[in-house]
């Protein structure tokens, strides 16, 4: 097998995952912040900021999951049985949230229930995604190339901590998104939420960064052995600098920079995860090469991605450009 094909597909899936986390992260964050709005018109404005984008944002989840299935079928066959429960909970929460998104606009007499469904679905989906992430980082039991653990191996304090971290991170993305798309009381409330959320996210990142090398020797070796430590030290340093910049931008009243700074924090966190686990797609047992599909299959699917990916990216740029600008009270996609 050509060694570079699994690496290319690993990169494609990595791009799909980070695109999903950033794009669907801020609209899940809007749902997490929903209960903190004081009036119904504030919730209307918050929801209208993501109404044209939220379903398109979830396209990247399909590319990430579908790419894992077709390009790394052995990894898919191991990861899914290990994480069936949190994955199913996440998908059900996303469906529940999507239904609430549509019905809330027409169910005037029961709107509060759909508000609760939208907020609850967003919260549960975000937490489940963090649990899946934690379950992968802590490792999956594999024997003879197949999953050999129990159905609740993922249910650990570390995975729960990752779930809480993702919830806080998405809420931070949502609050900084509202700074760009709204003004008035909604923007003021979002700025008030963003600063404590940023501090909480940094605290969670610090705890996870300390926990993983202490609990998992393979990650400690990757980060703290020589000469790795000299090359990798800039990653946490840059993360702290970006966080301080976001804090400064929030306090100085900037509107767009806090969101892009928060995106930078997510990208740096994802880079740290990739450094900790590569080349293992199923840590700590199976690499991208051991789980890859046959080279002809990967080449055939790569041609499809080469043609479709620019179309998807072009659609996203077009939609975000069409619906640019702030959303005023009473304005909306619906």
Does the pLDDT value for residue 333 go beyond 80? no
**pLDDT (0 to 100) of residue 185:** 92
**pLDDT (0 to 100) of residue 262:** 96
Domain presence at residue 329: no
Domain presence at residue 334: no
**How much is the average pLDDT of 111-117?**
90
Does the pLDDT value for residue 1 go beyond 60? no
**pLDDT (0 to 100) of residue 240:** 95
Domain presence at residue 331: no
**pLDDT (0 to 100) of residue 334:** 57
Q: Quote the domain boundaries for residue 21.
A: 3-323
Q: What are phi and psi of 196, to 5 degrees?
A: -65, -30
**How much is the average pLDDT of 193-220?**
92
User: The tokens of 238 are what?
Assistant: 């840059």
**pLDDT (0 to 100) of residue 328:** 79
**pLDDT (0 to 100) of residue 109:** 80
Q: What is the mean pLDDT of the chain?
A: 90
Q: What is the CATH number of the domain that holds 256?
A: 1.20.1630.10
251-304 pLDDT per residue, tens: 998 999 999 999 999 999 999 988 988 888 898 889 999 999 988 888 988 888
Number of domains in the chain: 1
157-199 pLDDT per residue, tens: 999 999 999 999 999 999 999 999 998 899 999 999 999 999 9
Does the pLDDT value for residue 148 go beyond 60? yes
| Percent of the chain whose pLDDT exceeds 90 | 53
Domain presence at residue 328: no
Strands 280-282 and 286-287: antiparallel
Planar angle of CA 207, 213, 219, nearest 5 degrees: 130
User: The tokens of 278 are what?
Assistant: 């590569």
**pLDDT (0 to 100) of residue 94:** 93
**pLDDT (0 to 100) of residue 122:** 95
**How much is the average pLDDT of 217-225?**
87
End-to-end Cα separation, the chain, in angstroms: 50
**pLDDT (0 to 100) of residue 167:** 97
Does the pLDDT value for residue 211 go beyond 80? yes
Does the pLDDT value for residue 79 go beyond 60? yes
Using the CB atoms, write b or e for 32-50: b if 16+ within 10 Å. bbbebbeeeebbbbbbbbb
**Residue 33: which of 46, 22, 23, 44 has the closest Cα?**
46
Domain presence at residue 255: yes
235-254 pLDDT per residue, tens: 999 999 999 999 999 999 89
Domain presence at residue 332: no
Domain presence at residue 193: yes
**pLDDT (0 to 100) of residue 106:** 83
Domain presence at residue 117: yes
A 10 A CB-CB count for 195 gives 16
- Predicted TM-score (pTM) of this structure: 0.93
**How much is the average pLDDT of 27-45?**
92
**pLDDT (0 to 100) of residue 157:** 94
| Percent of the chain whose pLDDT exceeds 70 | 98
Q: What are phi and psi of 147, to 5 degrees?
A: -65, 130
Report residue 120's pLDDT band, with 50, 70 and 90 as the boundaries. Answer: very high
Selected residue with higher pLDDT from 331 and 250:
250
């Amino acid at each position: 097998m050509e060694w570079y094909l699994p690496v290319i597909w690993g990169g494609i899936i990595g791009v799909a995952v980070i695109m999903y986390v950033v794009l669907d992260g801020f609209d899940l964050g809007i749902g997490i912040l929903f209960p903190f709005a004081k009036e119904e018109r504030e919730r209307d404005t918050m929801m209208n900021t993501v109404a044209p984008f939220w379903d398109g944002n979830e396209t990247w989840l399909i590319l990430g999951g579908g790419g894992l299935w077709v390009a790394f079928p052995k990894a898919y066959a191991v990861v899914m049985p290990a994480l069936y429960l949190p994955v199913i909970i996440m998908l059900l929460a996303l469906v529940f949230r999507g239904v609430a998104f549509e019905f809330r606009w027409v169910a005037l007499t029961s709107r509060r229930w759909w508000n609760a469904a939208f907020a609850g679905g967003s919260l549960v989906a975000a937490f489940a995604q963090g649990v899946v992430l934690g379950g992968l980082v802590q490792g999956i039991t594999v024997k003879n190339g197949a999953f050999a653990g129990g159905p609740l191996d993922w249910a650990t304090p570390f995975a729960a901590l990752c779930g809480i971290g993702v919830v806080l991170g998405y809420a931070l993305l949502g609050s900084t998104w509202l700074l760009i798309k709204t003004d008035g009381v909604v923007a003021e409330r979002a700025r008030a939420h963003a600063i404590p959320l940023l501090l909480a996210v940094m605290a969670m990142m610090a705890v996870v960064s300390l926990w993983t090398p202490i609990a998992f020797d393979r990650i400690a070796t990757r980060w703290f052995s020589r000469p790795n430590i000299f090359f990798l030290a800039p990653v946490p340093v840059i993360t702290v600098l970006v966080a301080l910049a976001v804090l400064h931008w929030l306090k100085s009243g900037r509107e767009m920079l806090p969101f892009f700074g928060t995106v930078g924090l997510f990208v740096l966190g994802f880079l740290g995860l990739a450094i900790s686990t590569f080349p293992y797609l199923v840590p700590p047992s199976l690499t991208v090469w051991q789980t890859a599909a046959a080279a002809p299959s990967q080449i055939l699917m790569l041609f499809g991605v080469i043609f479709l990916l620019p179309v998807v990216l072009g659609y996203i740029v077009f939609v975000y450009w069409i619906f640019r600008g702030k959303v005023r009270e009473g304005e909306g996609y619906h």
